[in-house]
Amino acid sequence: MTTSVPAMSRRPWWERVLWVGAALAGLALVWEGYKVLGRFTDSLPVRSTNAAMPHVWDIVGSLFESTQQGGGELLLVTLLRSAAYTLREAAVGFLLGGSVGLLIAMVFVRSPLLERSFMPYVVASQTVPLIAIAPMVVIWLGRLGWPRWVPVTVISAYLAFFPVVINAVRGLRSPHPDALDLMTALHASPPQELWKLRLPASLPFLFSGLRVAANAAIVGAIIGELPAGSGEGLGRTLLTFNQYFSLQPERLFAAILVSALLGLLFWGVVVGLERLVVRGGATA
């Protein structure tokens, strides 16, 4: 049995890096072009002053400035440490959400009745504003004595599980009916059918959901850090720099840049894993 690999996954890693770099360069050009346009008109929807939109080189340069007057560590070091903390929370949330999502998908495929009964609730769960759920999760788990990072991982998993459920259900149902009939003729048990046929066939679909879940896990971790009161992650760092935006706007944009790059890094790890698993299975 052969499986298809998305075109982006078949590209060499250096080519994907070049595409990402080209996209970032294009965004920088658009940013600076907008600022230039702002010099000639006052009708732009967003002010292009340095106080509202610092130059790209000022944002990058702030990464190599001290966080405190008279010395201290570089802003880049502070942001990287915060990013590493958030990445750990997001990774746990990603694994938890992905595992729960795959388990739910297996149950749904095994029982269409349960799918028809509970899939609407799975979909509806993603329509509830995360900013309303996060404080409740923090309070509930906090009263149980859990560490502050645990509610953050739960919130991260909450965002990550949904795309896995949707794509895994499609993937687990993707085998050809003739293949399913053959498994039945061979008297394969449901676990054997799952592990020998349905799971291998679902890998391209599953990894499509995992790529979305990777970015969702990062977003969930950042948002979850705010009500959790964590002072070590990117969520608190972004909030702090937002409070001082009028004085040092470039630092907030630098934190946003690092957050975006963290999401790209996590996404790239999943794409690399997909390349190893799916392409390896296709060529085996």
How would you write the chain as a 3-class SS string?
CCCCCCHHHHCCHHHHHHHHHHHHHHHHHHHHHHHHHHCCCCCCCCCCCCCCCCCHHHHHHHCCCEEECCEEEEHHHHHHHHHHHHHHHHHHHHHHHHHHHHHHHHHHHHCHHHHHHHHHHHHHHCCCCHHHHHHHHHHHHHHCCCCCHHHHHHHHHHHHHHHHHHHHHHHHCCCCHHHHHHHHHCCCCHHHHHHHHHHHHHHHHHHHHHHHHHHHHHHHHHHHHHHHCCCCCHHHHHHHHHHCCCCCHHHHHHHHHHHHHHHHHHHHHHHHHHHHHHHHHHHC
**pLDDT bracket for residue 150 (50, 70, 90):** very high
Domain range list for the chain: 85-283
| pLDDT, position 95 | 97
Instruction: Decide which of 1.10.260.30, 2.60.40.1510, 1.10.3720.10, 1.10.510.10 is the CATH code for 85-283.
Output: 1.10.3720.10
Res. 282: pLDDT tops 60: no
Res. 7: pLDDT tops 60: no
**pLDDT bracket for residue 70 (50, 70, 90):** low
pTM tops 0.85: yes
User: Which range, of 8-22, 70-84, 173-187, 220-234, averages the lowest pLDDT?
Assistant: 8-22
Name the more confident of 263 and 246: 263
Name the more confident of 1 and 100: 100
Res. 107: pLDDT tops 70: yes
Q: Kindly state the average pLDDT of the residues 42-56.
A: 86
